[in-house]
Amino acid sequence: MERAGTVILGLGNPILTDDAVGVRLAGEARCRFGARPDVEIHEECPVGGLELLAFLDGYRRAIVIDAIHTEGGRTGDCYRFTATALRGTVNLNNVHDANFATALALGRRLGQRLPEDDEIHVFAVEVADDLTFGTELSAELAPCYPLCREQVLAGIEELLAEAPAEAP
């Protein structure tokens, strides 16, 4: 199935404090890039693991936005990496069935048309509290959010300036 060139996925839970940051940023991306015909955006992607394959199938490029915890990380720090050097973000680390890398490998073996690893781009924001129910960001992350937004949206804009690589 051939679809729009790029899919943007916001991962996270909108009522779990900082876990919502990926969902919020995907919403911001919709405001900025939602009118483009070559971009499809799922602001709140509710699945992980094997089910994530259905959200990637047919796209040449994927942009995933999620929360992350890193050792010694500062709340609000933004990280950017691709699936060639995948790191464990909060929601990509689905451990109920298969992690992201395993799901991608299985999907490719089954012949699904998934983006290449270097066309799967992850933007991850260091968060402080993703265990408390609430619709607001934590007091630690909230003041950092405007800068996070600009960094992530600038990164997405940079990616979208070039067409994704042709599928092999």
Partner 1 sequence: MSRTIQIDPITRLEGHGKITIFLDDQGAVEDCYFQIPELRGFERFVEGRPIEELPRIVTRICGVCPASHHMASAKAVDACFGGQVAPLAHKLRDMYYHAHYIHSHIAHFYALAAPDFVCGPGCDPAQRNILGVVAKVGLEIGGQVIASRSKAQRIQAILGGRTTHLVWCLPGGVSKGLTTDELAEIRPLVGELYDFTQFSLQLFRDVILGNPEYVELILNGPYTLDVHNMGLVDQNNAVNFYDGQVRVVDFEGREICRYSPAEYATHIAEHVEPWTYLKFPYLRQRGWQGFREGLDTSLYTATPLSRLNVADRMATPQAQAAREEMFSTLGGRPCRALLAAHWARLVEMVQNAEMLKRYCDDPEITGPEYRLIPDRITGEGVGIVEAMRGTLTHHYTCDQNGICTGANLIVGTTNNNAAIHMVTKKVASTMIRPGVEPDNGVLNLIEMAFRSFDPCFSCATHSLPGRMPLIVTLMQGGEVVRTFRRDPS
Positions touching partner 1 (CB under 8 A) are 13-16, 44, 46-51, 53-54, 69-71, 88, 90-91, 93-99, 102, 105-107, 109-110, 130-134
Distance (Å, whole) CA 140 – CA 154: 23
Least Å distance, CB 11 to partner 1, is 10
Least Å distance, CB 124 to partner 1, is 12
Distant-in-sequence, close-in-space partners of 158: CB < 8 Å, separation ≥ 6: none
Measured from the CB atom, is 141 or 160 closer to partner 1?
141
Closest CA to 41 of 76, 11, 19, 15: 11
Measured from the CB atom, is 36 or 74 closer to partner 1?
74
Least Å distance, CB 17 to partner 1, is 9
**DSSP code for 98:** -
Measured from the CB atom, is 3 or 69 closer to partner 1?
69
- Partners of 122 in the beta sheet? 64, 81
CB 141 within 8 A of CB 16: no
Least Å distance, CB 54 to partner 1, is 7
Measured from the CB atom, is 68 or 156 closer to partner 1?
68
Distant-in-sequence, close-in-space partners of 150: CB < 8 Å, separation ≥ 6: none
